Amino acid sequence: MGKDENTCATLRAEIAATEAQLARLKRDLVSAEDRAVANSESTSPAANRNKGQNGSESPWPLLQEEYGRYGRQMIVSQVGLPGQLKLRSAKVLLVGAGGLGCPAAQYLAGAGVGTLGLIDGDTVEISNLHRQVLHRSRNVGKYKVDSAIESLRELNPLVTYIPHRTHLTPDAAPSIFNEYDIILDCTDNPATRYLISDTAVLLGKPLVSASALRTEGQLMVLNYPPRPPGDKDGGPCYRCVFPKPPPADSVVSCADGGIMGPVVGTMGVLQALEAIKVITAPDVDALNQTPHQDPPALHIFSAYSNPLFRTIRLRSRRINCAVCSASATVSLDTIKSGSTDYIFFCGSASLPSLLGPEERLSPQEYRERHPQVVHGELEQAHSRPHTIIDVRDQAQFGICNLTDSVNIPISKILASMPTPTNERLQGDYSGSQPPSWLPPDLTSDSNDPIYVVCRLGNDSQIAVKKMKDLGLDRNGQRFIGDIRGGFRAWREQIDPEWPEY
């Protein structure tokens, strides 16, 4: 075993060194590509749009290639040549190059938007590829914006692409947004959504916002028409629709809740469509009247419902909105200075530990106490009887689970949790029925320990607290605790072949 362990350690070190070298090479490639693009801009078709074959001024406003590319679009009456010229002059910023940003960017580039900016500080991961359709397997580890632009240039080289390889921050947002005409919010966390909306309103930029989780999505066009704070004719902002953020511990990410690729793709395509509608809308007439447009609305998509779409009419701007009302308290100065604290406003996304150290075991400590459960196989025939409860949902439990573990989804525990009575707190259910999710053998006289496990070690803590509230620990006579770090830690400490999803 000692020789094998040394071999494994050597291989891991070589892999780490190779990955570090690959990361350096990718960074060098990005710099070289940027220089190449800068050097070629002066000779690109986009830089000489209205030049004829002999270098003279062309009588036609578009290149011959552009007529060929966009002809099917231009013959649509809502677009026409004027709309195509507006698209070519437009500068659109997509905040996020993930599940929403990828399809939105594809269709905006295909439609001939003149300048596309993409801002994202993340790199491509293999778990992104089922839904983030601009990225390729060969680009795993590369900045998402660079991977996306690589694909977009193959789709349409006439567009100018601007990468912003960073996460959006309050101090940088105003200067970046100021260079664009319309913003697309393609992010997945509340704090950034409020930052994007506030900055867009204060700079007078229309905003197309979308979200998606599991099999459902939402879409809104905000701050349209864009008007200064206090102007009642302006469209509502994100704060008008959601004046208070959801509780931090209720926010579920795609990594935790899951997502179907076509669902987030549908919402991204609709974002592109709404952006095109805003860009190609008829101009304001001589009396400075706003052209006819649809009232603000929240569009809700549900893949497994009939009908697929529902629309909820939104109210106009709130009279007490913190950013777009006459009594606004949020300004560009408060954003850039950090006085408007979005993390504090939305709450911390990291859950505090609900249990004491004596109530939590690492996977290694659990294995030392009960060594029989390893990747679904019995390693030792005799071990102290115990129960292990897996509180992931049924779909995740079906992907991988420990032998003899009991699946009780945390959603079922929270949905059917009764208020504990004195009898329940003593572990006595003689005068009432136990919760429907509770297996009968757990309410018996046995003091065998109970361990709770989940994916990351958060839901398991909640379940342990609920079980103790019901008195299942019999005033400390029975151990009830969770496996710290969940199955992510299990993979690291016990079984490296445990599926990582």
Binding-site positions for ATP: 99, 120, 127-131, 144, 188-189
- 196, 221, 231, 328, 466 from 228: Cα distances, Å: 16, 17, 6, 11, 49
C-alpha to C-alpha distance for 245 and 229, rounded to whole angstroms: 21
Decide if 112 contacts 159 (C-beta within 8 A): yes
**Residue for token pair 């029975």:** 478
C-alpha to C-alpha distance for 212 and 381, rounded to whole angstroms: 47
CA dihedral 201, 183, 72, 42 (to 10 degrees): 120
C-alpha to C-alpha distance for 404 and 373, rounded to whole angstroms: 9
Ordered DSSP codes for 240-262:
HH-SSPPPGGG---HHHH-B-HH
Active site residue ranges: 254, 454
Sign of CA dihedral 225, 226, 232, 233: negative
List b or e across 154-172, with b for residues whose CB sees 16 or more CB atoms inside 10 angstroms: eebebbbbbbbbeebebee
Q: Which of these, 461, 377, 464, 475, lies nearest to 426 by C-alpha position? A: 475
Decide if 155 contacts 106 (C-beta within 8 A): yes
Point out the annotated binding site: 99, 120, 127-131, 144, 188-189, 237, 240, 321, 324
C-alpha to C-alpha distance for 113 and 417, rounded to whole angstroms: 53
**Given 3-state DSSP classes, what are the helix, strand and coil percentages for the chain, each rounded to the nearest 5?**
40, 15, 45
Chain-centre distance for alpha carbon 387: 35
